[in-house]
Amino acid sequence: MTDIHISDFNRDVAAILIRLYNQFPRKTTLYVEDIAGYEEPDEFGLHSDRYLSCLGAMLWLSDEGFIRYESVVKQEAIDQAVITNPCFVTLNTVCTKIIEGSIEPDAPISVSQTKSLILNQLRSGLKSGSSSSLESIVHELLQRMSYRSKPINDDL
C-alpha cells in the first residue's frame, strides 16, 4: 500500500506533465490550484501541506530535468513552464505497463500503439482514478527518465 502523499505525488506528476504536454512547445503558467484544486490559505496566509506538496512536485520535476520554468509566482504557480526534450521523448515511448481496459482488444494496431504511449497511459491512469495503476506508469516514467539523464562516460 502506497503512502497517501506518494499517491498524491503520482497524480500531481501525471497532471503536471499532461498539462505541459498539451501546451507544448509553448511556455505556459502552471497554477498549483489547477493541479491540486482550489484552496483558501489559512488565517495566516499559509497553504495546506497538500497544496505545498503539489508546488514541491513542480519544483522537483524541474530539478530532475522533466520541465523548465523561468520563475515561481509567489506560492501559486510556475511561470513560462515547458517540458524538456528528454521528457517529451519519454512521454512518446511505448509503456510496458498497460492499464487494463485502456486499449480495446480489437483496436487497429496504430490506435493500440498510440494508446500504449506513456503519455496516454498517464491520461488513462488519471481518468481511471486507480492509484496503483497510475503509480506503475509514473514509476516507469521516472525510471526511463533516470536512464536518459545519466551522463555518458566517453572514457570506456
Domain presence at residue 52: yes
- Distance from chain centroid for Cα 63: 14
Number of domains in the chain: 1
Let me know if residue 154 belongs to a domain.
Answer: no
Q: Are 97 and 138 in contact (CB under 8 A)?
A: no
CA-wise closest residue to 138 among 19, 33, 9, 52 = 9
Q: Let me know if residue 156 belongs to a domain.
A: no
Domain that holds residue 54: 4-149
Residues 97-101 have a mean pLDDT of 73
Q: Is residue 49 part of a domain?
A: yes
| Residue at 155 is within a domain | no
68: burial class by Cβ within 10 Å (0-12, 13-18, 19+)? middle
Rounded Cα distance between 57 and 94, Å, is 24
Indicate the pTM of the whole model.
Answer: 0.86
Q: Is residue 74 part of a domain?
A: yes
Q: What would the pLDDT profile of 112-130 be if each residue is shown by its tens digit?
A: 677 779 898 899 889 988 7
Which of 79-83, 96-100, 107-111 tops mean pLDDT?
79-83
The answer as to whether 90 is a domain residue is: yes
Q: What are phi and psi of 145, to 5 degrees?
A: -70, -35
Nearest in space to 142 (alpha carbons), one of 94, 90, 83, 78: 90
